[in-house]
Amino acid sequence: MRPHRHSAGGGVYVANGSAEIERVLVFNCNASLGSAFSFVRSTVSILGALIVGNQAENGAAFYLNGGEVEMDHLTVGFDNANPSNATAIFSSGCNVDIKNSIFLEDGDAQADLMIFHHGTVGIDFNDILGGNADIVNDQATLTWGDGNIDADPMFIDPDEGDFTLSPDSPCIDAGSPESPEDPDGSLTDVGMFCFYQRDMTLDSHWLEFPATEPGLSVDMTITVTNIGMTPLWMELPMVEPAEAPSSPQPRWTVPTTSIPLCRSSSR
C-alpha cells in the first residue's frame, strides 16, 4: 500500500463489515484516524503485516472503534511526534486480540504505544518495546498474557527497510506454541518475518543433462515455489559435470538467485 493521505484508514478502511487481511505492507501513510488501518464496528483478522513509518492524529497504525479485531504476526513501527493520541493502536470499545507481533516506536515518536478505552484486550507472545508500561488502559479489560517480552527485535537493517530477524533475535521461536509451526518445523517466530533455521539443498542428480554436441547448449529450469511470508536469499554455486572431459573442462555457472521464503541460516 503506497503512501497517501486520507481522513481515516490511509491503508484500509472497514466500517460495519468484515475483512480478512493477509501478508500486506503498509508504509508512510497519513490520516487523521488510523493511518494504516481504520476499523469501525467491524470484525477483522490480520495475519502477517509490516506497518512502518505511518502518521496519524489518532492511531498511527490502527484506529479501532467497536467490533472485534485479531492481530497475528505483525511488525509495527510508528513515527509520529504528536504526543497526544498518535499511538500505534488507538482503540475505543473494541475487542482486540494481539499475538506473535512486534510493536515499537521509530523516528521521533513521543506518544504511548497503545491506548485502549473500554472493550477487552488480550496480549500474548509479543515483543512490545516498553512493555505494559507503555500501554494506557482506560477502563478496558486487559489481559497481559504469557510469553510477552520487551527486547530489541534485532532486525537486519531497519534503516534500509529490512525488518527480517537477525540470527540472534530474541523473537526467534518466541511465538505461541499453539500457533502453526514455521516452514522449517520450529516454533513460530514473533513478527511478520520468520527466520529459517535449516539449510535447504538441491541434490545434484536432479539435474541430468543429456549428451550434447560440441558448440550446442542445453537449458535446464528449477522452479521454486514460495509457501512462506518472508524472503529467502538462495545462492547456487558453480557446478561442474560429474565426469569432466580431459580437455577442455567445461564449467556451468549458476547465478545467484533471489526468491521469496524465509531468511535462511544454519545454527
pLDDT single digits (tens) 155-209? 998 888 889 999 999 999 999 999 999 988 899 999 999 888 776 555 554 566 6
Please write the tens of the pLDDT for every residue from 83-130: 444 578 888 899 999 999 999 875 555 557 788 999 999 999 999 988
Answer whether residue 104 is part of any domain.
yes
Whether residue 88 contacts residue 58, with contact meaning beta carbons closer than 8 Å, is answered with no
- Give me the percent of the chain exceeding a pLDDT of 90: 38
> Band of the pLDDT at 226, cuts 50, 70, 90?
low
pLDDT digits (tens, 9 = 90+) for 70-84: 999 999 986 554 544
Question: Residue 250: inside a domain, yes or no?
Answer: no
Residue 58 lies in a domain: yes
In degrees rounded to 5, what are phi and psi of residue 137? -110, 110
Q: Is residue 158 part of a domain?
A: no
- Region at 100 (left for phi over 0; alpha for psi -120 to 50; beta for the rest): left
Position 243 in a domain: no
Q: Looking at per-residue confidence, does 185 or 1 come out higher?
A: 185
Residue 167 lies in a domain: no
User: Domain range spanning residue 37?
Assistant: 5-150
- Alpha carbon distance, N-terminus to C-terminus of the chain: 35
Least confidently predicted of 103-107, 226-230, 250-254 = 250-254
pLDDT of residue 220: 72
Residue 20 belongs to some domain of the structure: yes
Give whole-number Cα distances, 115 to 10, 87, 88, 258, in Å: 19, 7, 8, 40
Number of domains in the chain: 1
Over residues 27-69, the pLDDT tens digits come to 766 655 556 788 999 999 999 999 887 766 665 788 899 999 9
- Domain-embedded: residue 79: yes
Cα Rg, the chain, nearest whole Å: 23
Q: Among candidates 265, 194, 200, which has minimal Cα distance to 231? A: 194
Strands 95-99 and 120-124, by their bridges, are: parallel
